[in-house]
A and B are shown apart, each in its own frame.
Chain A
Amino acid sequence: MPVEFISPYITNLLIFIGIYIILVVSLNLTLGYTGMLNLGHVALFAIGAYTSALLMTRLDFPFVIAFLAAGIFAGFFGYVLVLATKKLKGDYFALATLGFAFIVVNLLLNLQGLTHGPLGIPGIPKPSLFGLTIQSNFSYLIFVAIVAFVSVFIIYKIVKSPFGRILEATRDDEIGLRVLGKNTVKLKYKAMIISGFFAGIAGSLFAHYLSFIDPSSFHLSEIILVLTIVIVGGLASIKGSILASFVILLIPEVLRFLALPSSIIGPGRQIIYALILITILMYKPRGLFGRVDLE
């Protein structure tokens, strides 16, 4: 077992930051680069978490299969989401995807035979790779860091490719791109499948780290949190998303050291997120590194 160089508290924080980096950078692919006001991303994260947890706890699948299935299944639901909403644009698309997020949480709560409803799924095993089980939090951090690095690298390569350029063109002027012969609906499918895949694997990392998941982890507050990170970092900026994941997840930690009761820490966290978001929107509307205006 590797020696833990950093305190368990910091390790725990860094693991969450790593998972959120994957989640937020993949959301930026649809929201920032493709211009789809996607509020259903956390639902894809939930689908990934539950897929991975159920495949391992119920069907004894090996971790690698459960992990990839989480991504594929969430990507598939990303496809279904665009299929169902392909005629909608802007605010209407945002509302439909928000509705999707609520439906998923309600299904997780009510499909008790499959998901145990509000009781959640306990005893999710730690990942095993090539016969080695990742037991300590420090090794898990290394694993999350590798997955986050590879995920960000792939998304970076996509957005810098000619394909990424036409995703940006879709965001800027969909009609203008269609008259140049590009099938923008197909582009949105692809963007959502890729984004969903990475949200799914982030969900898998989340589930296997906590060993327990329930629907409360995927509520509206979570959607607001990931949106806040993307907006603070800046639309269409991977660098911004990574930096903002650190900033937004670390700042509220200050509350822990103020010896406040937990009934204050929870709402205090939400207040801090809201204040950061309002400040950024007022003084730096494009976020830390954003290249695109919020519309």
Chain B
Amino acid sequence: MMLKIKQVTKNFGGVRALDKCSLEIEKEKIIAIIGPNGSGKSTLFNVISNLIKKDSGRIYLDKEDITEKEDFNIAKLGISRTFQEVRLFRNLTIKDHLEIALLESDEKLIRSLFGKREDNEKRIKDILNLVGFDKPLDTHATELSYGQRKLLDLAIAIAKPHKILMLDEPVAGVNPKLRKGIKEILRKLRKKGDTILIIEHDMNFVMDLADYVFVLDYGKVIAHGTPRKIQNNKKVLEAYLGE
């Protein structure tokens, strides 16, 4: 099991965003989390990354208990993620973004000043080729269109050394062509052995891509199973599709 979420609860004042939520994410699979707006999907991602402190419950990454770890340490241990709103460093270039994601020694000042500079050009080009991104490396983040920013965001998450990729609505707001492109990228990554956890509203995208689906409603897992099984689940139809 790559990621295990055990009985996680999170309240925002009187609102229970996650209610004893438990999930197990298998290795080398694409797992989707679906659910209506406000069902706790993004909160779950933020709790896993420890950007939001949970009230109770435990989280294990590849059998290691990461419940009490700080957000940056969780990232170091192998969680790579994106956000619903693309987060880029607006004054930095594409190359800067990918080097920050790839390098693990740039926090060390002396090594950064006097150590041998790693040549990441090939790795950067490989990752950009994988996601089909063809802008010059010295382009600034602010010069990119929304779709390109979304792709760069994905490229950064892929570039960062990781055990699991957590993507929060990777195709939200992108055109159908790019949506198809991103689907292919994720398939390629799965083939290479990546474990991917996605939150997505686009049902066709999820049903076509995911190996397994968890459905959240009011912070609880109300159903889980293969896409085919989920599609016909009565509880899901009631909660998610309002049927």
Contacts and interface: CB of A to CB of B under 8 A. Distances in A.
A292 B109 CA distance: 23
Contact of A158 (B87, B109, B156): B109
Interface in A175-217: 175-184, 186-187, 190, 194
B99 interface: yes
B51 A179 contact: yes
Contacts, number: 92
Interface string A148-182: 00000000011001111110110111011111111
B2 interface: no
B241 interface: no
A291 interface: yes
Contact of B76 (A157, A158, A181): A181
Given A178-B71, A180-B160, A182-B107, A172 B112 contact: no
Q: For chain A, what secondary structure do more than half of its interface residues adopt (helix, strand, loop), or is it mixed?
A: helix
A121 interface: no
Interface string A118-132: 000000000000000
A178 B89 CA distance: 12
Interface string B97-140: 00111011111110011000100000000000000000000000
B49 interface: yes
B43 to A, nearest CB: 15
A194 to B, nearest CB: 8
A89 to B, nearest CB: 15
A194 B104 CA distance: 21
A244 interface: no
Contact of B106 (A163, A179, A236): A163
B96 A165 contact: yes
Contact of B92 (A165, A179, A183): A165
B92 A168 contact: yes
A166 B106 contact: yes
A176 B96 CA distance: 14
B75 A172 contact: no
A162 B97 CA distance: 11
12 contacts: A163-B108, A166-B106, A168-B91, A169-B89, A169-B92, A169-B100, A172-B92, A177-B100, A179-B72, A179-B79, A180-B75, A181-B160
Interface of B: 49, 51, 70-73, 75-76, 79-81, 83, 87-92, 96, 99-101, 103-109, 112-113, 117, 156, 160
Given A168-B89, A176-B83, 14 more contacts: A157-B113, A162-B99, A163-B106, A166-B107, A168-B96, A169-B96, A172-B88, A172-B89, A177-B100, A179-B49, A179-B72, A180-B101, A182-B107, A186-B107
